Each structure stands twice: as structure tokens, then as C-alpha cells.
Amino acid sequence: MGFLSNDQLIFIFGLLGNIVAVGMFLAPVPTFYTIFKRKSSEGFQSIPYSVALMSASLLLYYGILKTNASLLISINSIGCAFEVTYLIIYLIYAPKQERMHTVKLLLIFNLGSFGSMLLVTMLLIKGSNQLSVVGWICAVFSVAVCAAPLSVMRRVIRTKSVEYLPFALSASLTLNAVMWFFYGLLQHDYYIALPNVLGFLFGIAQMILYMVYKNPKNNGEEKEDQLAGNKEVEKMTNENESCSVDDPDMETKISTCCFKPKKSNANKKMEVICTNV
């Protein structure tokens, strides 16, 4: 790609990163359409949107401090607008307890933490050190955000189901990480580039897990085991002797299912209480 200058490549990767990231910001739209339709956000959590707002706010501040970062500023401005909109909708339709929890989260985490960092870096840190400190804060927070899918990956491995791992979202995260990695690398901005290496690796790992567990073979085996268990219960039920026992202290009867193994004595009868009438 020698026919393109370094600045042109930076613009191309930044523009592609903006396009992919907008698609990712639009991903929760079906969720919030469901919330709007149900007039309730019960069953959904506000933490992912609060974290996303914090991440976009940090990178927006970093882009403002940095020179020639219009693409970084544009995408994170859009991101802040999306996340604020999602949180407003969530607060409107959230139950009282969840609404109070979200308000506390926003006040302490978003306003408190971000506001404190903003004041410290603006008042106490000057010159090039200001950009470095904010860059490190952004990098550490981005690494933490990139590591968030670990819980989903563990759930996929445990349940052997990709129900909670949409392939399209994993592919978008991977592609987004690639775009911003090259954007940061070409600018020698390692605060942007390095966290996206981790994002790329986690994205690839999620897609591999999806390919491994998307096959319904495991689910089929579980269904076969369940059917076999049902047949065994039916077989035992057909071999049972129904009996009832009078309770001297009560006017009711206790129904029992007396299962007798085929090759056992009557004295080795196994009783299982089925229902209390």
C-alpha cells in the first residue's frame, strides 16, 4: 500500500473504525425497542451502558487533548449520545429499585469518578504529562472493558451453548479492534493501539468458541439422556404397586408409590411418597 501516505492510511482506518463502531452502538436498539414496547426495563441491566458511557467519555476527553484526533472525537461523541439516550430510556421504564440503583451508579461512577479525574488532570497536571496520564487511564479502562467478555465465554464453556454469544457482535468487536489498532499504530499512539490487541484476541476467542459450540450435537445428546431418563421412570412406574397408608393423627390418607425391584424380597421394598392429599 505504498501508493497511500501515512496520513491517508490513518484516515481510512479511522473512518472504517467509525463505521464499525456506529454499528456496534446500534446493536442495543432491539433491546430498547423491547423495553419501550413492554413499558418496562425489568430483566435488563444498566451497567453495560454506564460502562460504555464512561469509556466513550474518557476517549472523548483524550481526543480533545490530543492533536489531529477528529475521528476519535467524532466516534466517541456519537457513542456518548447513544449511551445517554439508552440510559434515559432505561430510567424512564425501570422499576423504582433499579432506577435508584442506576442513578447511584451514574452519580458515583460516571459523574464522580470521571469528574474527579477531569479536575485532577486539568488542575494538577500540565503539559505533555496531562496527555500521558489521561492516555494511561484510557488504556487501563479499555483493557478492563475488553476483558468483560470473559464471563460470557466462561458461561458458553459451562453450558456448551452459544445462546448468549451472538456471532455478529463478536465479529464486529474483532473488526473494530483491528481498525483502531492500525489507527493507533500508524499514529504511534500506543494508548489506542495496545488495548485493541487484547480486544482482537478476545474477539477471535469468542468466534472460536461460537464455532465449537454452535453444533447442536451436545444439545442432542442432552435430549437423548433426558428421554432415556423419562423411559426409565415410566418403566419403574409400570412396575409399581399403588398403596395407601392411614395416618392415625389425621383424617387424610398419605398416598405412596411402592416400587419393588424385580429381584428383591418384599422386605426390601422401597417407598417413595408421591403426594399428600
Residue 107 has what pLDDT? 92
Place 150 in a pLDDT band, splitting at 50, 70 and 90. Answer: confident
Q: What is the pLDDT of residue 187?
A: 92
pLDDT for the residue numbered 144: 81
Give, for 149, the enclosing helix (H) or strand (E): none
Q: Which residues contact 61 (CB under 8 A, 6 or more apart)?
A: 118, 134
Helix spans in 147-189 (H): 150-159, 167-186
Question: Is the pLDDT assigned to residue 252 strictly greater than 50?
Answer: no
pLDDT tens digits, 184-217: 999 999 999 999 998 899 889 888 988 888 875 5
Cβ contact 181:193 at 8 Å: yes
Sequence-distant (6+) residues with CB within 8 A of 182 are 9, 13, 193
What is the model's pTM?
Answer: 0.71
Q: What is the pLDDT of residue 234?
A: 52
Which stretch of DSSP H or E encloses residue 165? none
Counts for the chain of helices (H) and strands (E), in that order? 11, 3
Tens-place pLDDT, residues 34-91: 888 988 887 788 888 898 899 999 999 999 999 889 999 999 999 999 999 999 999 9
Mean pLDDT score across all residues of the chain: 79
Above 70 in pLDDT, residue 271? no
pLDDT of 17 reads 93
